[in-house]
Amino acid sequence: MTAGVPPGGEFAAIDRLMRRLPGPPAGEVWIGDDAAVVGPAGAQTLLTTDMSIAGVHADLRLMGLDDLGWRAVAAAVSDIAAMGGRATHVLVAVAGPPSTDLDALYEGVAQSVEAHGCRVVGGDLSNAPQVVVVVAVTGVVGEGPGPVLRGGARAGDHLFVTGPLGGSAAGLRILRGLAAPGRPPAAASAENPLVRAHRRPRARLAEGTAARRSGATAMIDVSDGLAADLGRLAAASGVGFSLGDVPVAGGATIEEALGGGEDYELVFAAPDDDAVRRGFDAAGLAVPIVLGECTADRDQRQWAGTVLAPSGWEHRFR
Amino acid sequence: MTAGVPPGGEFAAIDRLMRRLPGPPAGEVWIGDDAAVVGPAGAQTLLTTDMSIAGVHADLRLMGLDDLGWRAVAAAVSDIAAMGGRATHVLVAVAGPPSTDLDALYEGVAQSVEAHGCRVVGGDLSNAPQVVVVVAVTGVVGEGPGPVLRGGARAGDHLFVTGPLGGSAAGLRILRGLAAPGRPPAAASAENPLVRAHRRPRARLAEGTAARRSGATAMIDVSDGLAADLGRLAAASGVGFSLGDVPVAGGATIEEALGGGEDYELVFAAPDDDAVRRGFDAAGLAVPIVLGECTADRDQRQWAGTVLAPSGWEHRFR
């Protein structure tokens, strides 16, 4: 339910659609968060969909159809992770030209649903000039607090990220045969961790659940880049932010960490950093990295003494 | 979850995927019916997805983007109707070139979800060379018997259809400026009921529920044509069929009624025609039309003394 690259850069049509349609009843969340939340409290269902289009979201000269299938599932499941939920059922709609190697694509889908602990229960198959994979995922929220939305962060909350950033963007750079400024080109081996981060990203389901149970007030997945996605969390919450060090994946640049999307790490806000440390520890997960804090000035977008402009970074790697 | 026109006419890859993936637990239905059935008995959820691609499923020279949006929702909701369910929540993934009139497309989506009594709760938006609309729908099964699958028909069951067939195919012919053999060309007015049947089909939700409550043993929606879809129901049930008169929409031909898809009428089997008549009557619905009956010879595909070959008709109008 992250909105890739819309036609004409137009998000306005979605806003108009939202105004045109009836809104959710109390306790439900529809358009505007990582996933929709429907159903009564205690038995809520999470719903999300995500499109992966060859030539737009993925370059099939740089990855296989199996990688495209894997990524399509991971990207959609990540929206469930960002609510603190568990993915349950998956629908996979596939279109492509007659020459498409469906076995390769479905093999990547099968591996990804297995890795993410969910099940393919249906789908659709059609002809199209280019390969399109659209994954819809249902999820549930386990014991503990309800789903974590984007809009609950308060001034003073700490900001965390579940891991270093920029790996996927660095992997893409390597696959394109480019070196980072001032560094020798890296080999585009399939085993290179950055190449793997680009081709086979993992949704952070366990981390999302741990964050929810550790008092997270707001959460989002890094699909379009830290600057863009943290900007969305801050805007939805009506807070600003001030960041210190941003953790950079080994071999990636700081620009890739700030602007590169598709890492699928989770960024979240929580008031009690001890509770977060204990919660992740108890779940056997690496303790998340402190990025900075939420501030009362909703226009503040501070990183290392400069302004972190979402739109500037957002399109740099897309 | 009807499989439009697969790449290379290949359904084999889906079969291989099904064998590669774990199967459903007892009481659930995954790939292979109109919609998946998940969750415990009494609280089951229906899940389905359906792709509508400009140039494949719809000709945008013959309909507006609003019609495409309407049809995409109706086609997916029809899979819920064919289980005897009620559609609840809808996810709409849209891709298209930057020039796409999203407001028109979303207006059709909004009208269609309203007409079908469900709600848009999320979606995705992206760039693509051609317009793609992928709708995922969740549904529930109301009081009474559980969802009606394709595979429950028995020899001796009567076969019913909820209305005359061929309207959508006839509307497409009119829009293409073609006359039926031996008839004068019809005017391609937007108010022409056949043109409307093609551009604005309705999923038969109330009819599906009435059929489920009237003892239906198997049901499918006519999305690819009566011959193709009834053939699927018969194959899944392990029965043959013998048809008498096939009801033809006014202005359509018998070929359009047998082979034209996208009418979204429901075909179902039920042992007790009195119960069906009473059930539809009590629901205030037109009594369904008797098509014929299911036979014990699973190879029998009889219509008016000839063999109704699914593959022959299936591709005639696609």
- What is the SS3 string spanning chain A? CCCCCCHHHCCHHHHHHHHHCCCCCCCCECECECCEEECCCCCCEEEEEEEEEECCCECCCCCCHHHHHHHHHHHHHHHHHCCCCEEEEEEEEEEECCCCCHHHHHHHHHHHHHHCCCEEEEEEEEECCCCEEEEEEEEECCCCCCCCCCCCCCCCCEEEECCCECHHHHHHHHHCCCCCCCCCCCCCCCCCHHHHHHHCCCCCHHHHHHHHHCCCCEEEECCCCHHHHHHHHHHHHCCEEEECCCCECCCCCHHHHHHCCCCCCEEEEECCHHHHHHHHHHCCCCCCEEEEEEECCCCCEEECCEECCHHHHHCCCC
Q: Are B21 and A50 an interchain contact pair (Cβ–Cβ within 8 Å)?
A: no
Res. A12 pLDDT band, cuts 50 70 90: confident
Site from B48, B106, B125 to mutate, A interface, most A CB atoms within 10 angstroms: B125
Q: Does residue A1 sit at the B interface (CB-CB below 8 Å)? A: yes
Does B57 contact A at CB distance below 8 Å?
yes
Domain A7-140 and domain A158-314 have a common topology: no
Res. A4 pLDDT band, cuts 50 70 90:
very low
For an interface test with A, the pick among B18, B49, B221 (most A C-beta atoms closer than 10 Å) comes out as B49
- Does the beta carbon of A22 lie under 8 angstroms from any beta carbon of chain B? yes
Give the position of tokens 């061929």: B166
Please, which pLDDT band fits residue A36 given cuts at 50, 70 and 90?
very high
Kindly give the parts of chain B with pLDDT less than 70: 1-11, 179, 184-187, 310-318
> B53 and A126: CB-CB below 8 Å?
yes
CB contact under 8 A, B121 and A24: yes
The letter for the amino acid at B125 is L
Q: What is the pLDDT of residue A177?
A: 87
Smallest CA–CA distance, residue A86 to chain B, in Å, is: 15
Smallest CA-to-CA distance from B72 within B203, B176, B174 is with B203
- Collapse the DSSP code of B7 into the 3-class scheme (helix H, G, I; strand E, B; otherwise coil) and give the result: helix
Contact B204, B66 (CB under 8 A): no
| Chain B CB within 8 Å of residue A53 CB | yes
Q: Is A24 on the interface with B (CB under 8 A)?
A: yes
CB contact under 8 A, B16 and A122: no
How many inter-chain contacts (A to B, CB under 8 Å) are there? 244
- The predicted pLDDT at position A20 comes to 78
State the pLDDT at residue A281.
Answer: 98
Q: Within 10 A of B299 (CB to CB), how many other CB atoms are there?
A: 8
Percent of chain A residues past pLDDT 70, beyond the cut: 92
pLDDT at A3: 43
Q: What is the dihedral of CA B33, B34, B39, B44, to 10 degrees?
A: -130
Q: Which residue of B has its CA nearest to A112?
A: B21
pLDDT for position A1: 53
Q: Is ipTM strictly over 0.95?
A: no
Domain ranges of chain B: 7-140, 158-314
Which residues in chain B have Cβ-Cβ distances shorter than 8 Å to A24?
121
The topology under which CATH files domain B158-314 is Phosphoribosyl-aminoimidazole Synthetase; Chain A, domain 2 (3.90.650)
Q: Tell me, what amino acid is at A247?
A: P
Residue B274: other Cβ atoms inside 10 A: 9
**Any bridge partners for residue A306, and if so which?**
A303
Which residues are CB-neighbours of A297 under 8 A, at least 6 positions away? A240
**DSSP-assigned letters across all residues of B77-128:** HHHHHTTT-EEEEEEEEEEE-TT--HHHHHHHHHHHHHHTT-EEEEEEEEE-
Distance CA B37, CA A309 (A): 45
A35 close contact with B: CB closer than 8 A: yes
Query: Min CA distance, B32 vs chain A (Å)?
Result: 8
Question: Would you say the pTM of this structure is higher than 0.90?
Answer: yes
Chain A interface includes B197 (CB < 8 A): no
Within 10 Å of residue A250's Cβ, how many Cβ atoms? Answer: 10
Contact A48 B21 (CB under 8 A): no
Residues of A in contact with B107 (CB under 8 A): 20
Residues of A in contact with B127 (CB under 8 A): 4-7, 53, 56
Alpha-carbon distance of B86 to B89, in angstroms, equals 10
Q: How far is CA A275 from the centre of its chain?
A: 24
- Determine, for residues A17 and B99 on separate chains, whether the beta-carbon distance falls below 8 Å: no
Quote the pLDDT of residue B57: 87
Residue length, chain B? 318
Best mutation target among B127, B140, B262, B318 (most A Cβ atoms within 10 Å) is B127
Average pLDDT on A63-67 reads: 96
What's chain A's length in residues? 318
Q: Which residue on chain B is closest to A136 by alpha carbon?
A: B136
Give the per-residue pLDDT at A317. 31
Q: Are strands B86-96 and B119-127 parallel, antiparallel or unpaired?
A: parallel
- Which residues on adjacent β-strands are paired with residue B302? B242, B307
pLDDT tens per residue across span A218-252: 999 999 999 999 999 999 999 999 999 999 999 99
Whether residue B122 and residue A3 make contact (CB cut-off 8 A), yes or no, is: no
Confidence band, pLDDT 50/70/90 cuts, at residue A312:
very low
Q: What percent of chain A has pLDDT over 90?
A: 79
Nearest by CB to A4, which of B14, B120, B124? B124
Using a CB–CB cutoff of 8 Å, tell me whether B25 touches chain A: no
For testing the chain A interface, which of B91, B131, B135 should be mutated: the one with the most A CBs within 10 Å? B91
Q: Which residues contact A203 (CB under 8 A, 6 or more apart)?
A: A74, A75, A77, A78, A80, A81, A87, A116, A221, A264
Q: Is the pLDDT of residue A210 over 90?
A: yes
Distance from CA of B239 to the nearest CA of A (A): 25
Per the CB < 8 Å rule, is A132 touching B136? no
Q: Does B44 contact chain A (CB < 8 Å)? A: no
Q: Does pLDDT of A6 surpass 60?
A: no
Return the CATH number of the domain spanning residue range A7-140: 3.30.1330.10
The residues in A 123-182 lying below 8 A from B, measured between CB atoms, are 123-130, 132, 134, 136, 138
- Minimum-distance CB partner of A110 among B17, B110, B129: B17
For B24, name the nearest residue in chain A, comparing CA atoms only: A121
- Is the pLDDT at A180 greater than 80? The verdict is no
Contact status of B91 with chain A (Cβ, < 8 Å): yes
